[in-house]
């Protein structure tokens, strides 16, 4: 049984606002791929738009440019090894989904492969074509067209990070395969 439920697009930016390391999924023709990315952020409110840095040398970049779309999946702490593995190998000569036994679901709007098992949330994004930016920079812009999250950790537009959902706590890369988990949520009080 899936615990995923749709996230209103107006709340989608909150899924990556705190800087989790993400899994970028892509597909074009008969090829599909997945890689890790530490650099992503919201950039526009309405419609929700995000930026993500995808090195031009990656296979992911090739698939995104050819298909005009990409997925962002937000792995929980249980997927740290998988995240590091798909960020340390290229899908150019290998189907990482098969290699690492990842069974994706199909995105509702763009049909992208998305990971739910072990992930806290996902977003489907349509690439915003920016010829100059694409040529000059590794940064890609995308408009979020669908989003969903595991209700055990994100509901009604907000994260609820506590001891009951540790496997879904988002991960944040420090370099060289070391991560910290988002945990210890605190609530600001009026002064």
Ligand X SMILES: Cc1cc2nc3c(=O)[nH]c(=O)nc-3n(C[C@H](O)[C@H](O)[C@H](O)COP(=O)(O)O)c2cc1C
List residues binding ligand X (CB under 6 A).
21, 33, 35-39, 53-55, 58-60, 83-84, 87-92, 173
CA 191 to CA 35: how far, in whole Å?
Answer: 43
Q: Residue 147's beta-bridge partner residues?
A: 123
The candidate with the shortest Cα–Cα distance to 33, out of 71, 82, 4, is: 71
SS3 at position 20: coil
Q: Which DSSP category does 123 fall into?
A: E
| Least distance between ligand X and beta carbon 124 (Å) | 18
- Residue with smallest beta-carbon separation from ligand X: 87
| Least distance between ligand X and beta carbon 74 (Å) | 13
The residue among 3 and 172 lying less far from ligand X, judged by its C-beta, is 172
| Least distance between ligand X and beta carbon 89 (Å) | 6
Dihedral of alpha carbons 67, 72, 78, 80, sign = positive
The residue among 84 and 159 lying less far from ligand X, judged by its C-beta, is 84
| Least distance between ligand X and beta carbon 96 (Å) | 6
| Least distance between ligand X and beta carbon 137 (Å) | 11
| Least distance between ligand X and beta carbon 80 (Å) | 9
Structure tokens of 147? Answer: 């989003």
The residue among 63 and 146 lying less far from ligand X, judged by its C-beta, is 63
Q: Residue 75's beta-bridge partner residues?
A: 119
The residue among 35 and 110 lying less far from ligand X, judged by its C-beta, is 35
The residue among 38 and 147 lying less far from ligand X, judged by its C-beta, is 38
The residue among 10 and 130 lying less far from ligand X, judged by its C-beta, is 130
Residue 121 contacts residue 169 (beta carbons within 8 Å) = no
Other beta carbons within 10 angstroms of residue 188's beta carbon come to 5
Residue 101, by phi and psi: left (phi above 0), alpha (psi -120 to 50) or beta? Answer: left
SS3 at position 80: helix
């Amino acid at each position: 049984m899936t615990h995923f439920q749709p996230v209103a697009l107006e709340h989608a930016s909150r899924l990556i606002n705190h800087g989790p390391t993400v899994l970028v999924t892509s597909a074009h023709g008969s090829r599909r791929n997945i890689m890790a990315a530490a650099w992503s952020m919201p950039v526009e409110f309405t419609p929700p738009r995000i930026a993500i840095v995808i090195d031009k040398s990656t296979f992911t970049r090739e698939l995104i440019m050819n298909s005009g779309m990409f997925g962002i999946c937000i792995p929980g702490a249980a997927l740290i090894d998988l995240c590091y593995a798909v960020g340390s190998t290229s899908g150019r000569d290998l189907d990482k989904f098969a290699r690492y036994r990842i069974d994706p679901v199909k995105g509702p709007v763009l049909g992208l492969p998305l990971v739910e098992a072990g992930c806290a949330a996902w977003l489907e994004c349509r690439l915003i074509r920016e010829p100059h930016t694409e040529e000059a920079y590794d940064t890609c812009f995308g408009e979020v067209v669908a989003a969903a999250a595991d209700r055990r950790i994100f509901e009604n537009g907000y994260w609820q990070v506590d001891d009951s959902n540790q496997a879904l706590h988002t991960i944040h890369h420090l370099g060289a395969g070391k991560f910290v988990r988002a945990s210890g949520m605190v609530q600001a009080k009026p002064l």
